Structure 1
Amino acid sequence: MAFRFESLQVWQRALDLSERINQLTKTFPKDEIYVLSSQMKRAADSVVLNIAEGSTGQTKAVFKVFLTYSFRSGIEVVSGLFIAQKRGYIADELFTNLYNEYEILVKMITALKNSL
């Protein structure tokens, strides 16, 4: 692996979840394409991108800042899931599954941040 972030389990999980959010938002109504769909995809991608950016050649203090951004973006995705559920775009079972996955992810981000 050429880059440090590739070996981080938290980055790998974030990447997988980002793709799941991308696929999910494709099922949303077309009038959400530039609103909720876009916002959720950007937030999910932000988790992945900030972990990668912070891990590469930065000090621990800088990496912690980027992990905080990732954490906050993860929370943003969860809020988007609540909105999508409220609007009837996702089934309760899928909501619960993704909610639980993001709960694990933000705990992993927090644990990594605390270990630095």
Structure 2
Amino acid sequence: MAKIESYRDLIFWQQAMDLAISIYEATRTWPKEERYGLTAQLRRAATSVPANIAEGYGRESRASYQQFLRIAQGSLKEMETHLMIARRVGITSQEVAEGLMSRSESVGTLLRLLIRKLSPE
């Protein structure tokens, strides 16, 4: 197993980064009138996930790290909600939304596992 020397070595941070990039790619073709609406909100939520993982990793305490992981988890749920809205209003396809949701759930599972592992016994 590789030694963790930075948040960049964390698998779930890497997956969260890849997901954020995929969100940018998926929203590139969305209607221009959504640029400051749903597109911006979805992108902001998606980039917040790896950013909060990284920020929490840089904190000095376990409790603070957990709190930032919880914020990342909340941003993930916000992102999923924006995706569901985009699907319902016809901005994105079912296939694209499901693929992104599946990847989001994978990141969420890893986040929950780490939050539990960091919890005091």
| Normalised TM-score (structure 1) | 0.94
| 2:89 aligned residue | 87
| 2:18 aligned residue | 16
Q: What is the total number of aligned residue pairs between the two structures?
A: 116
Give me the whole-angstrom Cα distance separating, in 1, the residues matched to 2:46 and 2:72. 9
Query: Among the aligned pairs, what percent are the same residue?
Result: 34
Deviation of the 1:58 alpha carbon? 2.2
Give me the whole-angstrom Cα distance separating, in 2, the residues matched to 1:86 and 1:73. 20
Larger Rg: 2
- Deviation digits for residues 64-105 of structure 1 (CA, Å, limit 9, x no counterpart): 000000000000110011011011111111111111111111
| 2:68 aligned residue | 66
Give me the whole-angstrom Cα distance separating, in 1, the residues matched to 2:98 and 2:91. 13
- Opposite residue 58 of structure 2, the aligned amino acid is T
| 1:114 aligned residue | 116
| 1:6 aligned residue | 8
Instruction: Name stretches of at least 5 consecutive residues in structure 1 with no aligned partner.
Output: none
Give me the whole-angstrom Cα distance separating, in 1, the residues matched to 2:49 and 2:97. 19
Q: Which portions of structure 1, spanning 4 or more consecutive aligned residues, are displaced by more than 6 angstroms?
A: none
| Normalised TM-score (structure 2) | 0.91
| Residues 57 and 65 of structure 1: CA distance in aligned 2, closer, same or farther (over 3 Å) | closer
1:28 is paired with a residue whose SS is coil
Deviation of the 1:115 alpha carbon? 1.0
Deviation of the 1:57 alpha carbon? 3.9
Instruction: Name stretches of at least 5 consecutive residues in structure 2 with no aligned partner.
Output: none
Give me the whole-angstrom Cα distance separating, in 2, the residues matched to 1:80 and 1:108. 21
Deviation of the 1:24 alpha carbon? 1.2
Give me the whole-angstrom Cα distance separating, in 2, the residues matched to 1:34 and 1:58. 36
Give me the whole-angstrom Cα distance separating, in 2, the residues matched to 1:35 and 1:58. 36
Aligned CA RMSD, in angstroms, stands at 1.6
| 1:96 aligned residue | 98
